[in-house]
Amino acid sequence: MNLTNILVFTAFGLLFNLLIPSRWRKWTLLGSSVIAIYWMQPSSAIRNFDFWFPTASIALTVFVWISVQKTGEKRHLATLVAAGVLCGIVLLIGLTRYLDFLCCLTPTRPPDILKIMATISLVAAAWAVPYFFFPEKRFLSTFTTLIIIVIFIILKSDPLGRSASALLRIASGQLAELANPLDLTWLGYSFLAFRLLHVLRDHQSGKLPHYNLPEFVTYGIFFPTYTAGPIDRSQRFSADFREVTGPDNPANLRDNPSFRFNGLKRILIGIFKKFVIADSLALLSVTSQNVTQIQSTIWAWALLYAFTLRIYFDFSGYTDIALGLGTLMGFKLPENFDNPYRKVNLTSFWNSWHITLAQWFRAYFFNPLTRYLRSKPDGLPAWMIIFIGQFTTMVLIGLWHGITWNFFIWGAWHGTGLFINNRWTAWSKPKIEARTYSREAHLAFKFTGWLITFNFVALSWVWFSLPTIKSSLRFFGILFNVQ
């Protein structure tokens, strides 16, 4: 999201409850989210993919909705109307190709309208077949889960991304030799994937309530959270959605302007964090360019701390903006940060950094894995289960950012750190509780804990910010004055 996007979204949020009657809010939220994801989509080197990527997001979201439908819940007419509205909006966006004064919502002109219509027809057929002919089949949700994961891996892996880019370039009549994984600028896919995977898993566990199509698609592509989260749970979002689109919306301006006030305040804080602090600190970031240029240990630490602060202000700034926009419309989106750099141990840090991501992995990977390992009759010792759980969870979180050795090491770094923290706590807690310490001693413990945690996290960003192991090791060498 850039400042123009934020300004327009803010104006929309302010006017949403003022001007839109409750019976139209569902469609307004759906329509605005669809339009927004096309508007925010960056350009792609592959022709027309700044149009096709958001279209694919919508198509995939609808497909997931179909995958989780139960026979008794189907309301065909309402669904057809909703699907028709979606297709209609996409078609209208495509028509801007022919209207110079309206062109273009996307960075480049949308594809030819016949191509769009053909694609919509194919997608509609892809929706219709499982919807009508394969209701409640488990294989559908499993199949959809696999598709989402495969796309995710392709987008995050350079070699696979390059191959996919080459294929798409050939399909669009461009040179495959110029293929680059960076061509695949599918905005928001990482977060969309997690939202959809959560729905599919909850469906398979029998925990998913029914959602109608407009509600579900809005959940998937809700514009405030589309690009950078938070990763909301569908159940929580749905409760807000029904309240916001119902007659008793608490954010109705006439009755409760605190939503407007708090929303605006949160947006302004986010803008300051992201566009003033983070973007200023970006001038000092550790990059593959400057890591070979840095000559001074002290200044290397200064750059490392600058990056540490930058990544926090950047991410939390976007979160503040997202939460503020949601608040304007009456949504109480979940918090994603809770002063993470002030925490005194790594466990607390990970309970306060990208909270919704950590919760997602805890719910859908860590807990099921550790439950499974504990259920084995001749099972592993408890400490090993904890290690496997924490290590693999953090490695997966690392690989979620990109399938590279550096992100693997970053995840392993934190997984190992969490395990060490867990063992230290298990060993030291009884000893600490057995004695009485002075206030000064407590403060000293807390300070030491904070110092170690903060620097442990800061050093982990070396792996995160640099692209290769060699450049990372080089930077560590400069930090610790080792050749």
Residues 6 or more apart in contact with residue 192 via CB below 8 angstroms? 57, 60, 61, 220, 221, 226
For residue 17, the minimal CB distance to other proteins (Å) is 13
Biggest distance spanned by C-alpha atoms of the chain: 77
For residue 365, the minimal CB distance to other proteins (Å) is 34
49-67 and 76-95 helices cross at what angle (nearest 10)? 180
Toward other proteins, which CB reaches closer, 113 or 302? 302
DSSP per position, 10-46: HHHHHHHHHHS-HHHHHHHHHHHHHHHHHHHPPP-SS
For residue 277, the minimal CB distance to other proteins (Å) is 11
Residues engaged in binding other proteins (CB under 8 A) = 253-254, 256-258, 260-262, 280, 283-284, 289-290, 293-296, 299-300, 302-303, 306
Question: Around Cβ 398, how many Cβ atoms within 10 Å?
Answer: 25
For residue 294, the minimal CB distance to other proteins (Å) is 5
Toward other proteins, which CB reaches closer, 266 or 354? 266
For residue 413, the minimal CB distance to other proteins (Å) is 24
For residue 129, the minimal CB distance to other proteins (Å) is 47
Q: Is there a contact between 232 and 359 (Cβ–Cβ < 8 Å)?
A: no
CA distance 320 to 326: 10
Toward other proteins, which CB reaches closer, 253 or 396? 253
- Bridge partner list, 353: 337
Q: Is there a contact between 232 and 333 (Cβ–Cβ < 8 Å)?
A: yes
For residue 5, the minimal CB distance to other proteins (Å) is 20
For residue 181, the minimal CB distance to other proteins (Å) is 23
Residue type for position 343: K
CA distance 173 to 162: 16
Toward other proteins, which CB reaches closer, 55 or 472? 472
Toward other proteins, which CB reaches closer, 261 or 383? 261
Toward other proteins, which CB reaches closer, 7 or 380? 7
CA distance 457 to 308: 8
Task: Report the residue count for the chain.
Answer: 483
For residue 28, the minimal CB distance to other proteins (Å) is 22
Toward other proteins, which CB reaches closer, 50 or 314? 314
Toward other proteins, which CB reaches closer, 280 or 468? 280
User: H helices then E strands: how many in the chain?
Assistant: 20, 0
For residue 224, the minimal CB distance to other proteins (Å) is 19
Q: Is the dihedral of CA 184, 188, 189, 190 positive or negative?
A: positive
Toward other proteins, which CB reaches closer, 22 or 252? 252
Reported for 201-204, long-range contacts at CB under 8 A and 24+ positions apart, including other chains, are 201/145, 201/364, 202/234, 202/235, 203/67, 203/68, 203/141, 204/138, 204/141, 204/142
- Bridge partner list, 337: 353
For residue 110, the minimal CB distance to other proteins (Å) is 33
Question: Around Cβ 121, how many Cβ atoms within 10 Å?
Answer: 11
Toward other proteins, which CB reaches closer, 331 or 350? 331
With left for phi above 0 and alpha for psi between -120 and 50, is residue 203 left, alpha or beta? Answer: alpha
Toward other proteins, which CB reaches closer, 292 or 448? 292
Toward other proteins, which CB reaches closer, 77 or 298? 298
Distance set, CA 199 to CA 65, 70, 262, 338, 438 (Å)? 9, 14, 30, 26, 50
Residue type for position 58: I
For residue 290, the minimal CB distance to other proteins (Å) is 6
Nearest-10 Cα torsion for 183, 184, 186, 191:
-130
